[in-house]
Amino acid sequence: MGLFDDETQADAPPPGPSLFGEAPEDHAPKATAYRVLARKYRPTRFSDLIGQDALVRTLRNAFAMNRIAHAFMLTGVRGVGKTTTARILARALNCTGADGQGGPTPEPCGVCDNCKAILADRHPDVVEMDAASNTGVDDVREIIEATRFRPLSARTKVFIIDEVHMLSKAAFNALLKTLEEPPPHIKFVLATTEIRKVPVTVLSRCQRFDLRRVPADVLAAHFTRIAGLEQVAIAPDAIAHIARAADGSVRDGLSLLDQAIARGAEDGTEISAAMVADMLGLADRGMVFELMDALVSGDAARALAIADDSYARGADPGVLLADLLALAHLLTRLKSVPGLNGGNSLPEAERTRGAALAQMLSIPFLGRLWQMLLKGLQEVETAPDRRAAAEMILIRLCHVADLPPPGELIRKLTEQSGSALGTPGPSPDGGPGGGARAVAGGGAVMQPVPRALGFPDVVALAAARHDVMLYAHLRQSVHLVRFAPPVIEMRLEPTAPRDTAARLAALLEAETGRRWTIALSNQPGAPTLDEAEGVATAQARDAALAHPLVQAILTEFPGARVETPHETAPEPELPDDWAALIPPDDLYEGEYE
């Protein structure tokens, strides 16, 4: 037996008189300390763990085959059972059975001295350390020093380090050697919610188990069973609210259930879904569906009235939008995977009203709804008046519901423009055929103006041969005065390298096999290619802006603007008859000698 048979005996006064005379008679009944549901219904064996089937199966097999690791790493979100699993492991390792002769077992008896002492958190050989408050190397050295001694009464000494990721780097380094080769009577169980912060050198020395979030339907069944044990009447929809709010955490859900029971104890009636929603600051599920109906139909007045009613009930505007966002996600899933409606994983409201809404809406509309709600949530968080920001978002969503899809809008604008859309805009050089084309909703996409074979092809040759510097200077620093192959007369900008002409002559000679003459001139010459294309781009953009379709789009969407996208031009290729187009060398012989 342990030092005390139960927790209440530890605080009982000694019998008989005290040092100051006879003890006064106290006939008043002593109040029993209330234990919250999370502690009262904490699992005591592996079979009690819910939603962790893989972990339970692996540990059961490990005990059955006597292949128990010396160090375990338990990771998962808060409240899924990491510390509870560590304590069950400690009991399973040290259980001696009801007769005191048993060995390690996956089913601790719960009646032997070791099981009762570990369950009461008072076993000397099961040491728990909170790494969040004991982060230093000295704290770890105390554990290392304790591993040198054999257990006092248990079979195995178990060290449970919670939130192990909070240890310092020096503490981790001090623990490595002992963690890798502990004495045979030592087991380590490490728990963390931030597995990425644990050094890989520590992870490699442990057997890792990832505890999963518990599904909402499993949580709901668990909470329903506990409510029955507590003889509390609670509506299934209220249980569903609590299970969703728990977000996969058993402890969080039990804390919320505890709060709901306390709230419903005022009148002794059944705990309703509305009561739980009011407690959690949630909007009623039916109200969320009604609000979505108003948004889809574009009824701003009804949407604002529903939002006002929700606010009067205590629902936070941000939570209301978050509920709409979750409903948009659900509707998109139902639209994409209609088979989800046939299962029992969804509540009745989602199966009936959700399926009807999903059938009515399109994926593009649901996508726009998701994007605007997601952005609206950010606006609410930063707005000085959260309620006003939420109302503005709802009004915006009502008006967006009236807008046609982009494809239908383009067809509508095209039909309105009539035959005027068939008239091409003016070209950059004033001729027909236009050098640019308008793209609805995206601005003007510029097309290069066709040119005859000439100096631009020489520049293209430099690009094709990957002479980047020469290509750049030919575009930006060369003013063409005369182009008469094999003679090129040009004026260079002062910033151009002095060897530009020589490099160009060498390139052309290597490509054509003929000698070229590059003459430098003081005449102004033509604009550079970059300057000329800038003028052409501006003219093409003006032509696109004057296009009837672009004008119709700008009228329909005030504030929109036309931009020119910067596209990477394909690598230029020279014509096959490049060399044949060059006149013989003797045509200009002696002209520039």
Instruction: Label residue 479 left, alpha or beta by phi (over 0 means left) and psi (-120 to 50 means alpha).
Output: beta
Three-class SS of residue 144? helix
Q: At what angle do helices 82-94 and 53-64 cross, to 10 degrees?
A: 20
Give the length of the chain.
593
CA distances from 415 to 404, 408, 410, 420, 437 (A): 15, 11, 9, 10, 18
Structure tokens at 143: 């554990």
Has domain 455-533+570-580 been given CATH number 3.40.50?
no
Structure tokens at 138: 């000295």
* Residue among 223, 192, 208 nearest 51 (CA): 223
Indicate the pTM of the whole model.
Answer: 0.55
Task: Look up tokens 């060290």; give the residue.
Answer: 159
Say what the alpha-carbon torsion angle 384, 385, 389, 395 is, to the nearest 10 degrees. -150
Structure tokens at 498: 């002095």
CA distances from 509 to 502, 504, 512 (A): 11, 9, 5
The Cα 394–Cα 385 span in angstroms is 15
Sheet holding 126-130, edge to edge: 126-130, 157-162, 186-192, 71-75, 207-210
Strand ranges for 440-477 from DSSP E: 443-446
Q: What is the CA radius of gyration of the chain?
A: 40
CA distances from 70 to 38, 41, 187, 188 (A): 29, 29, 5, 6
The Cα 513–Cα 27 span in angstroms is 120
Structure tokens at 481: 């005065």
The Cα 357–Cα 288 span in angstroms is 12
Structure tokens at 357: 């809404």
Q: What is the CATH number of domain 37-210?
A: 3.40.50.300
Determine the longest span between alpha carbons in the chain, in angstroms.
Answer: 137
Per-residue pLDDT of the chain (593 residues; tens, 9 = 90+): 333 344 434 444 444 444 444 545 555 555 567 788 888 888 888 888 888 888 999 999 998 888 899 999 999 888 888 999 999 999 999 998 888 888 888 888 888 888 889 988 888 999 888 888 878 888 888 888 888 888 888 889 999 999 999 988 888 888 888 888 888 889 999 999 889 999 999 999 999 999 988 888 899 999 999 999 988 889 888 898 898 888 888 999 999 998 888 887 666 678 888 888 778 766 567 788 889 888 888 888 999 999 888 888 777 888 889 889 988 998 888 888 877 766 556 666 677 778 888 888 888 888 888 989 999 999 998 888 989 999 999 998 888 766 666 556 556 655 655 544 444 433 333 333 333 333 333 333 333 333 348 888 888 888 888 888 888 888 888 999 988 888 899 999 988 888 888 889 888 888 888 888 888 888 888 888 888 877 767 777 777 777 777 777 777 777 777 776 554 444 555 555 555 555 555 544 444 44
Three-class SS of residue 59? helix
Phi, psi of 208 (to 5 degrees): -95, 140
Note whether 560 and 552 are within 8 A (CB): no
pLDDT of residue 423: 41
* Residue among 550, 553, 555, 536 nearest 436 (CA): 536
Note whether 62 and 92 are within 8 A (CB): no
45: which DSSP letter? S
Q: What is the CATH number of domain 218-400?
A: 1.20.272.10
| 290-295-298 Cα angle (round to 5) | 125
CA distances from 1 to 5, 191, 306 (A): 7, 30, 63
The Cα 529–Cα 474 span in angstroms is 8
Sequence spans of domains, the chain: 37-210, 218-400, 455-533+570-580
CA distances from 113 to 128, 160, 334, 419 (A): 19, 20, 54, 94
Note whether 97 and 77 are within 8 A (CB): no
Burial tier of 417 (Cβ tally within 10 Å: 0-12, 13-18, 19+): middle
The Cα 177–Cα 208 span in angstroms is 18
Instruction: Label residue 247 left, alpha or beta by phi (over 0 means left) and psi (-120 to 50 means alpha).
Output: left
pLDDT of residue 339: 74
Burial tier of 304 (Cβ tally within 10 Å: 0-12, 13-18, 19+): middle
The Cα 577–Cα 586 span in angstroms is 20
Say what the alpha-carbon torsion angle 8, 11, 16, 18 is, to the nearest 10 degrees. -160
Assess whether the previous peptide bond of 486 is cis (omega < 30° from 0).
Answer: yes
Structure tokens at 1: 């037996």
